[in-house]
Amino acid sequence: YGGPVTNPSDTPATTPSAVLVTGGNRGIGLAIARAFAEAGDDVVITHRSGEPPEGLRGVQCDVTDSASVDEAFTRAEELLGRPVDVLVANAGITKDGLLMRMSDEDFDAVVDTNLAGAFRCARRASKSMIKARAGRIILVSSVVGLYGSPGQTNYAASKSALVGLARSITRELGGRGITANVVAPGFIETEMTEQLPEDRRKSYLAGIPSGRFATPQEVAGVVRFLAGPDAAYISGAVIPVDGGLGMGH
Ligand code: NDP
């Protein structure tokens, strides 16, 4: 299908989006928030502790707590002056350990933050998106979600489940102008990967066809694309940003 033929000069200039990035105070979330802000969008980040980073507006939020998520959205809507139309569910944690020794607490904490946290944010965001008949939900997963990783049963399970979440949102709300997609980064230069032991780092690099880790900005660019007008017909997709590491999954 070739799609309707339009004259580029008929295309209206894009209006700024109202963007909420969870866990936008550092790492990949911060790079995503800055990329939107630099492009002229109205951005609010959530931070669990401390202060928002310089130049960005922030609201406190613990994604494991539904009341905190609700309050954060309400406060973000006040700061933005309108409802959130782009949600980037980025907040995430790891609590690695071998299956045999993994505690219930470590399994639950990771699923509660990475999966249920994204669900709580998407549920809250969907209310105004449904009314507006427009919205973009972008869930930050990981290559590990579908590739698997020893010592990360909790993390991989939480991240692969985001695919089911995005695809169900797509089937439920696709007709209301809402898209939901998953971005699956590979290894990114952040505090999370800085903690990797040197031998693991080397063996990971050996398995990445691109031969390097990515920058947080490379993830941010893909997230911005999914929030933009050129991605209006992409929904329920898993977009890898992994240098080819997870190819074929
Ligand atoms: P960081 O550890 O640098 O940052 C994690 C962010 O999540 C922080 O802002 C943190 O807040 C926030 N967060 C954690 N728990 C909660 C919570 N309960 N409520 C609210 N916010 C919370 O991680 P990265 O930037 O490396 O990762 C960002 C996302 O990308 C994660 O979902 C991660 O799984 C994913 N990812 C990362 C990869 C990598 O190589 N780094 C690769 C693939 C995916 P606080 O500062 O308060 O702790």
ipTM for the complex shown:
0.99
User: Is the confidence at residue 10, as pLDDT, over 70?
Assistant: no
Probe residue for ligand 1, chosen from 71, 93, 215 as the CB with the greatest number of ligand atoms within 8 Å: 93
Mean pLDDT of 42-57: 96
pLDDT at residue 14 tops 80: no
Ligand 1 atom nearest 141 alpha carbon: 44
Which DSSP letter does residue 186 get?
Answer: -
AA identity, residue 201: R
pLDDT average, residue stretch 111-124: 99
Decide: 223 in ligand 1 pocket, CB within 6 A. no
| Average pLDDT over the chain, rounded to an integer | 94
Q: How far is the CA of 138 from the centre of ligand 1 (A)?
A: 15
Phi first, then psi, for residue 135 (nearest 5°) are 170, 155
The token duo for 82 is 């309108």
Mutate to test the pocket of ligand 1, among 20, 21, 25, 28 (most ligand atoms within 8 A of CB): 28
Predicted pLDDT at 82: 98
Atom in ligand 1 nearest the alpha carbon of residue 50:
47
- pLDDT at 1 exceeding the cut of 80: no
- Residue 13, pLDDT above cutoff 80: no
Q: What is the pLDDT of residue 248?
A: 72
**pLDDT value for 20:** 98
Mean pLDDT of 82-93: 98
* Mean pLDDT score, 55-60: 98
User: Taking the domains of the chain in order of start, what are their residue ranges?
Assistant: 15-241
Average pLDDT over every residue of 213-225: 97
Distance 132 CA to ligand 1 centre (A): 29
Q: Residue 4's pLDDT band (boundaries 50, 70, 90)?
A: low
Q: 30 CB under 6 A from ligand 1?
A: no
pLDDT at 86 over 80: yes
Q: Is the CB of 29 under 6 A from ligand 1?
A: yes
pTM for this predicted structure: 0.94
Q: What spacing in Å lies between the alpha carbon of 31 and ligand 1's midpoint?
A: 12
Give the tokens for residue 218: 């490379």
185: three-class secondary structure by DSSP: strand
Cβ(63) to ligand 1 under 6 A?
Answer: yes
The verdict on the CB of residue 64 being under 6 Å from ligand 1 is yes
158 lines ligand 1 (CB under 6 A): no
Displacement of CA 17 from its chain's centroid (Å)? 16
Write down the pLDDT at residue 163: 98
Mutate to test the pocket of ligand 1, among 21, 22, 26 (most ligand atoms within 8 A of CB): 26
- Known catalytic residues are 155
Provide the 3-class DSSP secondary structure of residue 195: coil
Q: What's the pLDDT score for residue 102?
A: 98
Q: CATH top-level class for 15-241? A: alpha beta
Q: Poorest-confidence range of 7-21, 158-172, 191-205?
A: 7-21
* pLDDT for position 214: 96
User: What's the pLDDT score for residue 241?
Assistant: 97
Place of tokens 């699923």: 111
pLDDT over 80 (residue 223): yes
Counting from 1 in the atom list of ligand 1, the atom nearest the Cα of 91 is: 7
How many angstroms separate the Cα of 124 from the Cα of each of 67, 68, 114, 137? 10, 11, 16, 11
Q: Considering the chain, what percentage of its residues have pLDDT values greater than 90?
A: 86
Measure CA 87 to chain center.
Answer: 8
pLDDT at 104 over 90: yes
More confident residue, 249 or 152: 152
Cβ of 145 less than 6 Å from ligand 1: no
The pLDDT of residue 118: 99
Report the pLDDT value the prediction gives residue 228, as an integer from 0 to 100.
Answer: 97
